[in-house]
Structure 1
C-alpha cells in the first residue's frame, strides 16, 4: 500500500470524529495559553504558534461549510495539521521550556493522541520523525542549546510510549477491521446464497403465467379452460415454491442466529445423520436444469452421525455444488460425493471433473474475497464454508489437478470424540431443565448433574403443577418422574409441548408398583432409572437429539367455533392467516392496527388474538399493555395473545412476555405451525 493510500485510509477511519477533534483543537490551543501563562506559568509560551494550530484545526469543526475546493486537499491538510499541531508543536514547546515535567507529559500525551488519530504505524513513524526533527532544528535556531534539562532516559520513556501505543492501537484496529470484514463477508454471503432460490422462484413464476389462462372461458376462439392435469401441475409448482421459500427463510434465520463474536455459535447443533443431510441437500438444490441432477452421484458405505447443524452443512454443499456446476459444460463432467469412515472421523469427499484449480492458487481459495476464473463472484462462499466446518470441529481441504478434477475433503469428528464432548459440555451450561417429581434421590442426582454441567435446574412437585410455567421459562428439556404424576396431567403436559422442540425424559424404575401405560409417541422418551451415570448419558443424548414437533390432528373442531382476531397492518398476511384459520373451522376478525383491535374487543368476545408487534397508529405491544392492564378490557384480560414478529431474540421475547404476550410466531409461519400453535392455546 502506497503512502497516499495509507493517508486516505487513515482519513476515512477518523473522519466521523473530525468535528470533535477540530472543536477541541481550535478551542484548546488558545485556552491553554492562559493556563500555562497565568495559572501555572511556564518558562516559555507562544500565542501566535498556538493560534496557527487553532486555525489548522478549525476546518475539521466546520468541514461541512468549507468550500468544495477544500475537499481536494482535505487529506493532505489532515495529515499536515495533525503532525504540525501534535508532535511538532509539543516537541518544540518541550525544548523551549527546557524539558520541564509538564511539557514532557504533554509531549507523551501528544504521541498517544497522534497514534489514536492516525492509526497507521508507518505514517506515524514517518511524520513523527519529521516533526520531531523539525522542532529540534527550529529550537536550535531559537536558543542554540537544546539540551538544557534533557536526559537520555527521556528517550527510553518516549520510545516505550510510542511503541506500546502503536502496538495496542494496531491490535485494536486489526480487531475492528476483522469484525467489519466478517460482517461484510457474512451479509454478502447471505445475499449471494439467496440468488439461487430467487432464481428458481422466478423461473417457476414464468411457468405459472404460461399455464394459467387469462380468462376462464370455453370459447374456442378465446383462451381455453384449464385442465385437471394443469391444476395438479400448478399445485406441484406452488408446493415447490413454498419449499424453496421455507428453505431460504430457515437458512437466513439460522445463519443470523448462529453468529456470535465473529464465529459460528454451536447453540443450534444436534446429532444429525450425514446421509439424511447430504441427500436432502441434493434434493432441494436449485439446479438450473432438471438434467443437472443426473450429473451428481452420491455413494455412502456407512451412515454416521455428526454434531452440527443441517442447514449450515446444506449451505456448504450448496456452495460446493454451485462452484462445481460452473464448469458443467466440460465433456464427461460429473460430481461424485462419497462418505466413508476412517479412524475417529467421517470423511466426505466432493469430487468434480471440471476445469480444476492451478496448484499455485489452491492455498488462497478459502481466503475471504479471493476468486479466480469466475465472473461476478464475491469470493465469500468457500471462506464461510471453512468457518462452518471449523465450527463443527472439523476441517476442509482442497486437492486439484488442473483440467482434470477438483476434490474437497471434509473431515468431521465422530460424536464420541473428546472434542465433541468438550463442545457439548460447554453447551450444557446454557440449557434450562425442569424436573417434575417427588422422589428426593432423583432430585439429588439431577442436582449433581446441574452442578457438574452448570445448567439451570428448576424442580417442581407434580401436585397442582401449572403447565403455563413451561412457556414462561423456555425449558430445553423436561424430566418427568412417572411414579409422581397422574395420567391426565401427563397427557395434558405432553400435548402442550408436542408442538415445541422441548425434549422430554420419562423416568421409570424397574421395581415401580405404579405402572403408566405409555402410547407409542411416549415410548422413545422412556428411561428406566438405575444410576446417575445412566441419567447423565440419557440427558446429554436427549438434549442434543433434534426433535421435530409433533403435528396435532386438527380435523376435529369444536362445534362452538372459536373466534380469532388477526391484528396486522399487512393485508397479505391477514388474508393468508385468515384463509387458513377459516378453513380449519374458526371464525376470524381482522384489524389493521392495535387501536382498531381494542374497538372490536369492546363490541365482541374474542377467544385468541394473533398480534403483529409493530404497526402504525398503535403497535401490538401497546395494544397488549392495554388489554392486560386496562379495566375496560377486563373480559379479555386472560385471552391468549400470540405475537407475530420478523425476528425475536431472547431479550425481546422476555420483554414481550413481561408485558403479557402468551406465545410467539415468526413471520411467515407455515400452515402447520400456525394451526398447531392456535390449537394448543385454544385447548389448554
Structure 2
C-alpha cells in the first residue's frame, strides 16, 4: 500500500493547500494591505493634527505671555507711581487703574508688615495673598499658582511687586480672559484647549466647573510622559472617552497647553473608505472559499472530519482501530495509520496501568498499615488507604479535606518533633521515621510509627510525598513490659550480687580469724597428731575460701565487672603448677595424671595467667573428683590457623575416664549453682560453680568450650583461648615467694586498725612473726589519735568499722592539716570486701595497696616488700 502511494505524485496536503490558497493569495495580502493603509493614513492624519495644533499652541502661547507681561509691566509702573504719593491718594489710584485694566479682578496695596493700606474694590480680605506675600520681589512676577479668588470665586493668578519703599502691590489676574482668547482662536468644533501648570492644576478649561473645583489632570499619561521642552502628540483616555492631543509648554510661565479632539472626530472620516475596502476583500474571500469548498470537500474535509471523529472517540477512552478506506488525501491516510498504531499502544498501556492500579489498591487496602500520598506543590492529600479510619478513628475524607488534621491529632508533646521531621522531608528530601502518640476522637491514645519518603519525577525533582503509618500500641506495650522485666531482672541480679558480696564479706571475716589462728598455731610447737589436725583444718579453710572465691567470681561475671590482666607468662610453669597441685590427689586414687604439650607450643604467651590457672584448676579438679580409676590426660597446643594481629588460638584438652555426663545434662552442667546429681544422696560434693565460671572466663578470652562425654566412659573438654604472642626480647617476671620465704623487710612499726578482736589478734601475731612491731586500734578515730602522738612506717586499715570506717579515716589522713606530717604514710586496705570495684574504690580514696581477707604469711610478706617505704 505504501509502495503504491509513493509511485503516484503526492497530492497537496491539507496544511499546504490552505497555506497556498488562503494565506498566500487572500488573507495575508489583504490583511497586510489593510494594516499598511490604515497605518499610513493614521500616521499622516496624526502628523497633520500635530502640525495644526503646534501652530495654534504657539499663537496662544505668545498671546498668553504678552498678556501676562503687559499685566506685570502695568503693575510695576503703578507701584513706582504710588511710592511717590501719600496714603490719601492710594485708594483713588487703585480704583482708576482697575477701571483701565479689565484683566485685573482686584488690587491690594500693603505695607512692609502685610497691613492693607488700600484695595480696589475696597475689601479687607487677605485670605489668599498672605500665603504668597513672601514670594514678592522688586521685579513684577507671578507669585501664586492658579487659585480661586476669595471675592469673585473665579480662577485668578496673583501678580506682585515690592516697591522702593518696601511696600507691596498685588493684583489678581483673571483667567477668564485667557479662556475667551482661546475660544476665539479655536472654536469648540475644531477642538478644545486646556491650560494648566506643570503639576496638572487647571488654569483654563472649556468646562468652567472643572476649573472652579480645581480639578487636577496631572494623572493623564500625555502630561506625565511629556519630555522637558518638547512637543508631544499622543492618544489618551479621560472619563471613559478616547482623545488625541498635543502638549505644548509655555517656557516663560512654566504652563502647559493641551489641544485635543475626540478620536472618532479625527479618524471617523477615514473609516468609510477602509470599511468599504475591507468589505470588498471579504466578499472576494467568501467567493473564493465557496468555490474552494466544493473542490476540497471530498479530498480533505470529509476524510478530515472522519479522522477528527476518530480522535474524539479516542479522547473519550474508546480505543478502536480506524476503518480502512480509500483516501485520496495520502498524508491524512498515513497520519491516520500512525495514529491508529499509537491508539493501540495507549490502550495496552492503559490496561497495564489499570491492572497495576488494581493490584496497588488490593495491596494497600488489605495491609494493616495506613498508606498515603500527598502532592508537594500544595500539600494536598491525593490518596489515603481505608485503614486510616480503623487506626485514627476518623473518616478518610476528613484527612483529604484538611491535611493538617494529621498533625493536630498528635499529642502536643510529640507534635513539634514530627512537624520538624516532615518539614525537613519537604525542603531537603530526608526520609522520616518517627514514633509518636495520637489522640482519637473518643479520647483514647495510640502509638504510631510513621515513615515517609519523597517521590521524584523523571528529572529528579521531588513532586510527591508517600508514607506508611502503623499502629504500634501493642508493640510499645510489649516493649514496656520487656523493659520492666529487664529492670526487674537487673534489680534481682543486683540484689543477688549484693547478697553474694555481703555473704562473702560475712564469711571472710570469721574465716580470716580462723585461718590466721590456724597458721599461728601451726607455727607453734605441736605434736605430730596436732600438726596433722591443724593442717587438715587449714586445708578445709582453704577449700571454704575457694568456694567463697567462686561465689565472688560469679558475682563479678553477672555484674559485668570481670576484668582481665594481660601479661607475658611462662606456659610450662602454669602447667607444672597444675601437675604439682593435683598429683597427690590423683596418686591417692591410683589415677595416672599426665600433662603434655606439642613440640612447637610457645614457651611464653600474653594473657591473664591467674584466670588461665583458674580454668585449668576447675577442669582438672572436676576430672580428679569424678574419676575413680583410669587416667587423666591434659594436652596443650595451638590451632594451625595463624592470625596477623599478633594473637594465637591455644587449644587445651582435658580428658578423663570418669563417670561421664548424660546427654541430656551436657548443657545443664555449665549453669551456675547446678550439678548433674542434685539429690541428697549424691556421691560427689561441690557448689556447681566451676564449669559456669570456666565458660564465662573462656568467653571473655574470645574462646570456646566444647564437651564430648559418654556416660560411664569418661569426658573430654576442649577449650580454645585467644592469647597474645610476646614481643621480641620481652621476658616475664618469674620471681615468686613461697610460704617458707622470709620477707626482705623486718622491724617495721605497723599500725593495725581492726575492729574484730579475732582478726586483730591473728593479723597482729602474723605480722610479729614476720619481725615487725604492731600497734592495734579498734576504729578509725582511735587510729587518728595514735597518729597524732606516734610515728609509724605503714598502716593496715580495715574498711568496715564502728564510729569511723577505713575510707573516712584514710581521707582524714590525706587531707587533715593536723596530720600533714604523716599524710604520705602507706595505707593498706585489709578487708573482706573482695570485688574489683571495691579495690578501685579503696585506691581512689587514697589507699596505697589492697589485701583481701583471709591473709596468709606469704601474702603479708609480699605486700610489705612492695610498699613504697
- TM norm structure 1: 0.45
Structure with the greater alpha carbon radius of gyration: 2
User: As a proportion of its length, which structure holds more strand?
Assistant: 2
- TM norm structure 2: 0.37
